[in-house]
Every structure is written in C-alpha cells, then in structure tokens.
Amino acid sequence: MSVDEKKEQPRESLEREIDAVVSAETAGLEPEQAGEIREKIRQRVRAEMEREIRLKTAADRREEARRIREERQKEKHAGEGRMFQRFNRNFRFQHMVMFSSVILLIVTGMPIKFPNFILSRFVISLWGGINNSTIVHRIGALMLVYFMVHHLLYTILSRDGRRDFVLLLPMPKDLRDAVQNIRYFLGKVKEKPRFGRFSYIEKFDYWAVYWGCIIMIGSGAFLWGESIALKYFPKFVLDIAHEMHSDEALLATLAIVIWHFYNVHFNPERFPGTLMWWHGQISEHEIKEEHPLEYEELMAKQAKTAAEVNPQ
Ligand code: HEM
C-alpha cells in the first residue's frame, strides 16, 4: 500500500463519521438547506485535515533527519561513548572571532617587524603592498577588540560565562597538578593528575590570551593614534608601547606555535587536532581521560536529578 493510500484511509473513515453526525443534526431541515450545511462542514473539515497532514509530514521529515544525524554521530564516535557538550555556541563563536583575528594580526604584523625577511616581502606582496597590509592589520585589530568586549559581556552576563571564569581562576591544586604531571612524565609517579573542567594547561592558555589581548590592544591603540598620543604623553611612552607591542607579538606568536599547537594538535593523543572548536563536544572517553573530576561531577548531578524525578 502506498503512503498516499495509507493517508486516505483515516480521512475516508473520518468523513463517513462526520457525515453521519451532520445527517443526524440536520435531520429536521429542508433537504436543500441540509445539503448546503453538510457541504460547508465537509469543506471546512477537509481543509483542516489537509493542513494537519501537511504539518505532520513536515514534522516527520524533520524528526527523520534528526534521527539520521544522531545515528551518524553515534557511528562516528563508536567506541568513544556518548558525547558531552563542552562549549556552547556563544563561546565557540567568540573563539572563532579570536583565532581569525589573531591569525590576521600575526600575518600582517610580523612582516612589519621583520621587513627584510624573504617571507615578509612575499606576504606583503600577497596583500598588494604594505599599505593594504596595514589596513588589514587594523581590521584584525577591530575584530580583536570586538572579541574582548563580547567576551567580557559574556563573562559578566551569562551563567556559563560566570561559571567558567570562576573555574579558570588559578588555584593551589594547579601547582600541585603541574608538579605531579612533571613527576609523571619523568616516571617518578604512576598516576597522572586528575583534572576538573579546566587543567592548569588550559588555564595558562586562557590567561595568556587575556593578558596578551590587554597588552596588544593597549599598546596597539597608542601606535594607531600616534599623533593624538604624542599630544598627551612624552615620546618615550610611545617608544615603550612600540617595544611592548613588538615583543609581546613575538612572544604570542611563539606561544601559539609551540605551546598551543603542541597541546591541541601535535600531542600524539590529539594529532592532527580535534573539531571541538567547531561542534563544542567531547566524547565520554576523552572527558574521562582528560577531565575525570568534571566527569564524576556530571555523573553525580545526573544521578541526583534522576533520583528526584523518579524517587524509589
Ligand atoms: C595578536 C595581536 C597582535 C599582533 C600579533 C600584532 C603584531 C604586530 C607587529 C609584529 C607589529 C610590528 C611591530 C614593529 O614595528 O616591530 C605591529 C604593528 C602595529 N600594530 Fe599590531 N598586533 C596585534 C594587535 C594589534 C591591535 C589590537 C592593534 C590596535 C588596537 C594593533 C595596531 C598596530 C599598529 C597601529 C601597528 C603599527 C604598524 C601599522 O601602521 O600597521 N595591533 N603589530
């Protein structure tokens, strides 16, 4: 039996039922009047039923697509257990703005710092000359300022932002974890440190970016508004800003290339990198390995909620 035929069956039986009710209700009326009323009701009911069928098939299609998506996700992560949402959409958006702007700023800033380097000349020629390159540097700078403002508002105004900020504060446990990790790598202890939502490595990454943004935006603003700055500050303040901008840029670039790339890309357990920055999810296997304390907390919370919903 085709899908259309299946849909027709309940429609016909319902129409018969309605006919019977309407005939009973219009029994005392003139046949012409009764026929008119019956026809009006029939048209109304048919329109309503067709609308419902349309809505139902659209909802069915959406439901089916969702089921297929989930199935594919499950297949992809078979063996890794279920997935946990680690970063929300807002946070992922901020991260994307931040890394796009930093890449632009490095690519356009470094050739100014090392103008005689052959790669610098090549990159500047790709932008169509130094003028265009410095314009792109300023566009990257505005993106970074936007990111900083967005992140500050997110930290103050959203529940997840406030929670993460508190969890990112350095604690004495981080120092103990760092020492234990070094001892573990040296083979002195068998147990790796057990991290919560953020390890000391992630906290270091976060605060390095925070500090870096303050220095780069502060000193960059001086360079951008050089003539205005010279009206209010002595020249040596501008020289210091220039030095800070230039040196912190190199430090940030090296930190990203060595520290960050190793931790998230070249580390053998992660190579060639994860797509967490895109979908924000972490597998059960990974959360148990990397953030066991957070995993235990989540499980305890789930058990508590289940007990509240379904008391024995
Ligand atoms: C990750 C962030 C950034 C990096 C890596 C970076 C990198 C650099 C580098 C390497 C230089 C050349 C310094 C030298 O002459 O030795 C430079 C120049 C400059 N930067 Fe940045 N920068 C960043 C952010 C910013 C921001 C946020 C602003 C503005 C608020 C800014 C504005 C400038 C300006 C005005 C110059 C002078 C050269 C020009 O006219 O384009 N930069 N930057």
pLDDT at 10: 61
Q: Are 64 and 89 part of one and the same domain?
A: no
Q: Are 135 and 43 part of one and the same domain?
A: no
**Per-residue model confidence as pLDDT tens digits over 184-233:** 999 999 999 999 999 999 999 999 999 999 999 999 999 999 999 999 99
Whole-number Å distance, alpha carbon 144 to ligand 1 midpoint, is 11
Higher pLDDT, residue 291 or 72: 291
Nearest to 154 by CA among 229, 95, 209: 95
Q: Are 27 and 125 part of one and the same domain?
A: no
Residue that is last in its domain, among 37, 68, 99: 68
Q: Are 145 and 230 part of one and the same domain?
A: yes
Confidence of residue 7 (pLDDT cuts 50, 70, 90): low
Confidence of residue 76 (pLDDT cuts 50, 70, 90): low
Whole-number Å distance, alpha carbon 133 to ligand 1 midpoint, is 11
Domain count, the chain: 2
Q: Are 270 and 206 part of one and the same domain?
A: yes
- Mean pLDDT value of segment 117-123: 93
Which atom of ligand 1 is least distant from the CA of 248?
Answer: 5
Testing ligand 1's pocket by substitution, the residue of 101, 104, 105 carrying the most ligand atoms inside 8 A of its CB is 105
Contacts of 85 (CB under 8 A, 6+ apart): 280, 281
Q: Are 51 and 96 part of one and the same domain?
A: no
- Asked whether residue 307 is domain-assigned, the answer is no
| Measured distance CA(112)–CA(130) in Å, rounded | 8
- Asked whether residue 293 is domain-assigned, the answer is no
Q: Are 204 and 103 part of one and the same domain?
A: yes
- Asked whether residue 161 is domain-assigned, the answer is yes
Q: Are 164 and 50 part of one and the same domain?
A: no
Q: Are 23 and 148 part of one and the same domain?
A: no
Per the structure, the complete domain to which residue 145 belongs is given by 85-168+199-281
pLDDT at 57: 82
pLDDT at 168: 98
Report whether 89 contacts 280 (CB < 8 A): yes
- Asked whether residue 213 is domain-assigned, the answer is yes
Q: Are 163 and 204 part of one and the same domain?
A: yes
Q: Does the predicted TM-score (pTM) go above 0.85? A: no
Q: Are 22 and 161 part of one and the same domain?
A: no
CATH number (domain holding residue 203): 1.20.950.20
Residues with CB under 6 A from ligand 1: 102, 105-106, 109-110, 112-113, 134, 137, 141, 144, 216-217, 220-221, 223-224, 245-246, 249, 252
pLDDT at 312: 64
Whole-number Å distance, alpha carbon 225 to ligand 1 midpoint, is 12
Identity (one letter) of the amino acid at 58? A
pLDDT at 92: 97
Confidence check: pLDDT of 268 > 80:
no
Whole-number Å distance, alpha carbon 134 to ligand 1 midpoint, is 9
What's the mean per-residue pLDDT of the chain? Answer: 88
- Asked whether residue 295 is domain-assigned, the answer is no
- Asked whether residue 276 is domain-assigned, the answer is yes
- Asked whether residue 20 is domain-assigned, the answer is yes
Q: How far is CA 146 from the centre of its chain?
A: 17
Q: Are 115 and 142 part of one and the same domain?
A: yes
**Sign of the CA dihedral running 36, 39, 40, 41:** positive
Residue 172 preceded by cis peptide, ω within 30? no
Confidence check: pLDDT of 6 > 60:
no
**Per-residue model confidence as pLDDT tens digits over 126-176:** 999 999 999 999 999 999 999 999 999 999 999 999 999 999 999 999 999
Identity (one letter) of the amino acid at 108? T
